[in-house]
């Protein structure tokens, strides 16, 4: 059987349409048109953040255990937090000396790979929603908007490691204690 796509107007086989599971029928737009429309949305700021929001609770494999991160805020709260970030930093990473020194913060992008369904190289400058303390779940107070490459560097450092490094720095450089 064939069906006419409501978007492009082409007559295509029913296999060229996604099934609408709720009504056991085919969608009105073909797979190609549906993909194009979803890519248009995903390449908007709201669509990109929506993808990041959905991926926050995926299972991650740690060396010792399997943990599911929990998310304790709504998508609207995430959008509001990102708007607050943009008011302070613009489209620059929050990782750096602070909003008074924006020239030292790296710019962030929101570019999707050409085909996100296939394994593609990550774009290092893309926005990443990271947790300040990786031992805690995702909460509005525990997230930070940084670049993907900064997130990868930070991932190998724990919150307690930072305290240890700060203590060593204070001992050696501020208090001038010998090794």
Inform me whether the pLDDT recorded for 152 exceeds 80.
yes
For residue 151, give the nearest of 173, 132, 175, 171 by alpha carbon. Answer: 132
Q: Which of 100, 122, 141, 109 is nearest to 45 (CA)?
A: 109
pLDDT at 63: 46
Return the pLDDT at 89: 93
| Position 156 confidence tier, pLDDT thresholds 50, 70, 90 | confident
Please compute the mean of the pLDDT values over residues 23-29 and round it to a whole number: 77
pLDDT tops 90 at residue 168? no
pLDDT of 177 reads 60
CA separation for the pair 130, 56 (Å, rounded): 9
Q: Break the chain into its structural domains and give their ranges.
A: 1-39, 43-174
Highest mean pLDDT of the ranges 86-90, 120-124, 155-159? 86-90
The answer to which of 2-11, 55-64, 99-108 has the lowest mean pLDDT is 55-64
Instruction: Write out the two tokens for 158.
Output: 């724990």
Contact in structure between 125 and 147 (CB atoms under 8 Å): yes
How much is the pTM? 0.76
Look at the block and give the residue holding tokens 């008011």. Answer: 87
CA–CA separation, 141 vs 19, rounded Å?
40
Rounded average pLDDT over 46-56:
92
Mean pLDDT of 42-66: 77
Contact between 7 and 33 under an 8 Å Cβ cutoff? The reply is yes
Token representation of residue 130: 């990271």
If pLDDT is split at 50, 70 and 90, which confidence band does 119 have? low
Q: How far is CA 172 from CA 158, 159, 163, 166, in A?
A: 21, 20, 14, 10
Question: What percent of the chain clears pLDDT 90, i.e. is strictly above it?
Answer: 43
Using CA of residue 114, residue 45, residue 104, residue 133, what is the dihedral sign?
negative
**pLDDT band for position 167 (50/70/90)?**
confident
């Amino acid at each position: 059987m064939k069906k006419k796509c409501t978007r492009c107007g082409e007559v295509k086989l029913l296999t060229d349409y996604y099934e609408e599971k709720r009504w056991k029928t085919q969608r009105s737009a073909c797979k190609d048109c549906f993909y194009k429309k979803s890519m248009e949305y995903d390449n908007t700021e709201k669509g990109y953040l929506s993808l990041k929001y959905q991926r926050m609770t995926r299972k991650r494999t740690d060396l010792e255990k399997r943990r599911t991160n929990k998310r304790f805020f709504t998508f609207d709260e995430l959008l509001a937090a990102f708007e607050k970030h943009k008011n302070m930093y613009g489209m620059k990473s929050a990782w750096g000396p602070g909003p008074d020194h924006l020239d030292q913060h790296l710019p962030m992008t929101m570019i999707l790979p050409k085909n996100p369904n296939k394994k593609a190289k990550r774009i290092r400058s893309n926005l990443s929603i990271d947790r300040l303390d990786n031992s805690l779940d995702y909460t509005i107070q525990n997230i930070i908007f940084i670049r993907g490459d900064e997130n990868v560097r930070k991932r190998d450092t724990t919150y307690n490691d930072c305290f240890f490094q700060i203590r060593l720095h204070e001992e050696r450089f501020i208090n001038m204690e010998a090794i």
